[in-house]
Copies of this chain bind each other. A is one copy, B any other.
Amino acid sequence: MLCELLDGRSYTNKELASAAGVTPPTATAHLQLLQSAGLVVAERRGRCVFHRLTSAEVAHALEQLASIAPSDALHQAQRRKAGALAPLRSCYDHFAGPLAVAMTDRFLSRGMLIERNGGFDIQPDDVWQKLGVELPHTVGKQPFARPCMDWTERRLHISGPLGRQLLSHALDIGWVKRQTVRRGLVLTMPGRVAFQQILGLDTHAVGAESAAS
């Protein structure tokens, strides 16, 4: 269930039950456990109850666990999934995978972001607006952009409010679409053009309907 929720979206009891291969009552019991442990939060909308991870910290901890988990038969299915969605995916609420790393590198080399003691300082630039990012008016206590270690790439990419804005804008405007496979994203043609024009990113290897097993 937690792996299912790692994409940052909300799922209903029924969806999580079928994902875990159990009946709804069992899923209810388990989700109550997760909720009392503070790992997930539930939100009632109509007759449906949507569950999602509490915070990016929880997602991060899960990723850490996944990175040290042995590859026994139980996790084989999850691993296969993870392999299939390698090139471009979402990590909780922001981009992950090679494209996310490439974007981050580009921001850094252009001076739009500056690395400082494990955080990112954002610099004003009109490119941000093109990417749908609204710069913070006030300098809050929470960092606007935070680094997130990608455990397949072993490189940093952007999480925090900035990462959230980048992904949600890309989804809104249709640059990327959610794949049916969990956590997978597929780059659309407008998205390819946009990333090429705005950032000069070569997206030839990203988001193609992968045939790799």
Residues of B within 8 A of A105 (CB): 117
Question: Within the complex, which residue of B58, B117, B149 is in contact with A155, where a contact is CB–CB below 8 Å?
Answer: B117
One of A61-69, A89-97, A125-133, A174-182 at the interface = A61-69
Asked if A191 is at the interface (CB within 8 A of a chain B CB), the reply is: no
From residue A129, how far is it (CB to closest CB) to chain B in Å? 26
Decide if A65 touches B68 in the complex (CB within 8 Å): no
Question: Within the complex, which residue of B38, B64, B70, B156 is in contact with A64, where a contact is CB–CB below 8 Å?
Answer: B64
Residues of B within 8 A of A58 (CB): 68
Complex interface bits, A152-180 against B, C-beta within 8 A gives 1, otherwise 0: 00011000000000000000000000000
* Main SS at interface, chain A: mixed
Residues of B within 8 A of A46 (CB): none
For chain A, residues 19 to 34, give those with C-beta under 8 angstroms from any C-beta of chain B: none
Decide if A156 touches B61 in the complex (CB within 8 Å): no
A108–B117 Cα distance when bound, in Å, is: 9
From residue A118, how far is it (CB to closest CB) to chain B in Å? 4
Decide if B68 touches A38 in the complex (CB within 8 Å): yes
Decide if B57 touches A68 in the complex (CB within 8 Å): yes
Decide if A156 touches B118 in the complex (CB within 8 Å): yes
Decide if A64 touches B60 in the complex (CB within 8 Å): yes
Given the interface pairs A105-B117, A115-B115, A117-B155, the reply to whether A61 lies near B65 with Cβ below 8 Å is yes
Given the interface pairs A105-B117, A118-B155, A147-B118, the reply to whether A61 lies near B67 with Cβ below 8 Å is yes
Decide if A149 touches B68 in the complex (CB within 8 Å): no
Question: Could you list 18 further interchain pairs (A-B, Cβ under 8 angstroms) beyond the known A57-B64, A115-B115, A117-B156?
Answer: A37-B70, A57-B67, A58-B68, A60-B64, A61-B61, A61-B64, A61-B65, A61-B67, A61-B68, A64-B64, A64-B65, A65-B65, A108-B117, A115-B116, A117-B155, A118-B149, A118-B155, A118-B156
Which A residues form the contact surface with B (CB < 8 A)? Answer: 37-39, 55, 57-58, 60-61, 64-65, 67-68, 70, 105, 108, 115-118, 147, 149, 155-156
